[in-house]
Amino acid sequence: MMKELLLAIAFTVISATAALAAGDLPGQAATTNVPGSDYPRVLPDRRAIFQLKAPEAHSVAVEIYGQTYAMAKGDDGVWSVTTPPLVVGFHFYSLILDGVHVNDPGSRTFYGTGIDSSGIEVPETGVDYYHKQDVPHGDVRIRLYHSKVTGKWRRAFVYTPPGYDDHPNRRYPVLYLQHGSNEDETGWTFQGHANLILDNLIAEKKAVPMIIVMDNCYAMRPGDVGQDPQIESPLRPNFPAFEAVMLQDVIPMIDATFRTIPDRDHRAIAGLSMGSNEALRVGTGNLDKFAYIGGFSGGMNGLHTDPLDPATAFGGRFKDGAAFNAKVKLLWLGMGTAEPKPFPAAIGAFRKMLDDAGIRYVFFSSPGTAHEWLTWRRDLHAFAPRLFK
Amino acid sequence: MMKELLLAIAFTVISATAALAAGDLPGQAATTNVPGSDYPRVLPDRRAIFQLKAPEAHSVAVEIYGQTYAMAKGDDGVWSVTTPPLVVGFHFYSLILDGVHVNDPGSRTFYGTGIDSSGIEVPETGVDYYHKQDVPHGDVRIRLYHSKVTGKWRRAFVYTPPGYDDHPNRRYPVLYLQHGSNEDETGWTFQGHANLILDNLIAEKKAVPMIIVMDNCYAMRPGDVGQDPQIESPLRPNFPAFEAVMLQDVIPMIDATFRTIPDRDHRAIAGLSMGSNEALRVGTGNLDKFAYIGGFSGGMNGLHTDPLDPATAFGGRFKDGAAFNAKVKLLWLGMGTAEPKPFPAAIGAFRKMLDDAGIRYVFFSSPGTAHEWLTWRRDLHAFAPRLFK
């Protein structure tokens, strides 16, 4: 029974390989495809070609970057479409097959939007800071740990920089780096390429060697329901215990396991979107533990755009700007210029409050990118060189 | 544009959570589901319930374990089916939506059968050796390395046992563990739970602490085409350089990077299916490097069932049984009793050749399991305690 299945797969792969060898296909198979898959493809002008063999289907479309493109059926039962030029970077996408959002079998999957979703990388010409290069590479360790706070086993991805194993007496600073809503601890490695970004920065001596801890932001105590009232995300409402997990479980585990420099001057926290809210909240609420704090595409006010008064907002922790500035070595906010509502107004309201309080921060703007991974790769690439110096 | 998408996802997840909270669903959500997904579910008698919302579809079915079960459409546009009791263990599966094999959006994906595929874990009552338990856990490191043989960057998953970082002067034996056809270096961790199996065995003092290197069996030199003539798999034909990669790239990299005991008495090689063929070939062809050799669901003869003469087969490397027995501390062959054709006959022909040559080996039989991951978890669980003692 399984043999037939395996042989069917074999013939599929062999015929795909033969087509590739013929060299008659335009552009390049996306780097995000499964091995041997010729589709989707990206053309030199950033148009993409999507295909699906579906002889019995009534309609097939691709949904990417907020747009839906209908696919046309060929005589061979293969549906296809060539999109307009796409924005560079990594995009989640779906095929819509007779009304159902499904993955493209030609694509690798990446956990985001709450599912293991298809994704496509549209190359940026002349940019290689998040590519594998001929430099020393750190490891990303998949680490299990038991949380006293949640009572469950949890998983962190931990980047150790090149040379970590070769210098058993050397100690390192640590960046705690959070994912966004409906993502998990894998995102910064598999979509964000945080490890490659740091490998390249360290090789260029633009960033100091550091450990990066990528944990899962979702955390509930036994019996917890609902969401953190300080963040009010409309998304998966189950991270009320994140701060406790970070302070009581993760940081002590990391400091006990890895050769860290366990003080605030050598500890940073950052995150993206929902993770930005969490990083800013945990960071600014625990200035005895963190000296560097970064928010990528998010403030501390969730999706709210109302004005914030530094005297009262967030328990008044921003009201004394001079005291805040004296303690915090770096406060960083970033976003893409193409981010959709309500992010510009929400982040704008948060920045206005910081400005009103006289708080210093770096604002980073990513040209042409939306609420997506390329914005956050660019954030990390610009943020990491400012840490621990 | 993205906001609408995110909100749509949020409502889906919240409604699923509400249904779960009501406690009115039978059985358990599969442990292999994405977070918050109630389907598929497994009932106490191992029947499984699959669902897909597809109001516009004309037919939906689930294909699992070589069988196809048609799903029925409810008034709400949700298709569902309850299968007969399933065999325990991990099964890849697909939904068939209007004739197209697609993933189940409720399931995590696992790389196998050449794609990132849905998978479902059917629990084994009373068996916990591959579960997360309250024992010390090792790390699995995602390690990049450059291959001189292929000219490319490659990726290995490397398990370091509990305590590895706490004992900087201790050195460890190494098991090189290969995946099967159309799988990759992730399979032994994400489907096989090799790390958990060893964590548990080490905690019980049934296995000695060891490093496990899970590399990618697919390897081609620049210009290579076609498959290894010694294996003749009908599957993805691109691993002619595997032995060279293992001997010239992987083992030197591992011995230079990790605290190994770099001799044959502390080096094992094993694999499953196609990886069994590769492990047996590399192991028996390099007895100066390996003292322990394991083949899980495969011999060295691929899918061939013809009789093999030890005097001539495989360059005559098995003809002197006494010499082989004197060198090899363990030769292991295993398979499931429910494996389909041609595996029983092919492995039988290989065993017959070993018997004819007077070669000692352990034969392990996994009751009731097919050419699937539970067979290989059981193999590893029984094989690892015999290593390095």
Task: Catalogue the E-assigned strands of chain B.
Answer: 28-29, 41-42, 48-53, 60-64, 67-70, 72-73, 78-82, 89-97, 100-102, 109-112, 115-122, 139-146, 153-160, 174-178, 211-214, 267-272, 292-296, 330-336, 362-366
Interface residue of A142, A193, A274 to substitute, partner B, most B CBs within 10 Å: A142
Min Cα–Cα distance to chain B from A5, Å: 8
Q: Which of A99, A113, A132 sits opposite B54 (nearest CB)?
A: A99
Q: At which residue do the structure tokens 């043999």 appear?
A: A3
Q: Do A146 and B134 touch (CB under 8 A)?
A: yes
Its pTM surpasses 0.90: yes
Q: A292: helix, coil or strand?
A: strand
pLDDT of residue B235: 42
Dist CA A123 CA A30 (whole Å): 9
Contact at CB, A56 and B99, closer than 8 angstroms: yes
Residue of A nearest to B169 (CA): A168
Question: Residue B122 and residue B49: Cα distance in Å, rounded?
Answer: 12
According to DSSP, the β-strands at B28-29 and A174-178 are unpaired
- Give residue B174's pLDDT: 98
Contact A360, A322 (CB under 8 A): no
pLDDT tens for A345-354 read 999 999 999 9
Give the tokens for residue B200: 């548990």
Which amino acid type is present at position A345? A
**How deeply is A116 buried, as exposed, middle or buried, from its count of CB atoms within 10 A (0-12, 13-18, 19+)?**
buried
Whether B120 and B48 have beta carbons less than 8 Å apart is answered as yes
Q: In the prediction, which pLDDT does A222 show?
A: 83
Model confidence at A378, pLDDT cuts 50, 70, 90, reads very high
pLDDT at B214: 98
Question: A30 - beta bridge partners?
Answer: none
The pLDDT assigned to B50 comes to: 98
Instruction: Report whether pLDDT(A198) > 80.
Output: yes
Mean pLDDT is lowest, of A54-58, A179-183, A250-254, for A179-183
Residues 6+ apart with CB under 8 A from B133: B196, B199, B200, B203
ipTM: 0.92
Look at residue A156 in the predicted model and tell me its pLDDT: 98
Write down the mean pLDDT value for chain A.
91
User: Higher confidence at residue A223 or residue A246?
Assistant: A246
Residues of chain B with pLDDT under 70: 1-23, 225-239
Q: What is the pLDDT, as a whole number, of residue B238?
A: 52
User: Which whole number is the average pLDDT over A96-110?
Assistant: 98
CB A213 within 8 A of CB A254: yes
How far is it, in rounded angstroms, from Cα B234 to Cα B79?
A: 36
Report phi then psi at B129, rounded to 5.
-70, -15
Q: Which of B102, B140, B144 sits opposite A132 (nearest CB)?
A: B144
Q: Say if residue A208's pLDDT is above 80.
A: yes
* Residue type present at position A293: I
What's the token pair of residue B8? 């749509």
CA angle A353, A356, A360 (to 5 degrees): 85
DSSP B285-331: T-TTT-SEEEEES--SSTT--S---TTTGGGGTTS-HHHHHHH-SEE
- Which of B1, B4, B6 to substitute to test the interface with A, most A CBs within 10 Å? B6
d(Cα B121, Cα B191) in Å, to the nearest integer? 9
Looking at residue B23, what is its pLDDT?
63
The closest of A282, A289, A273 to A244, measured between CA atoms, is A282
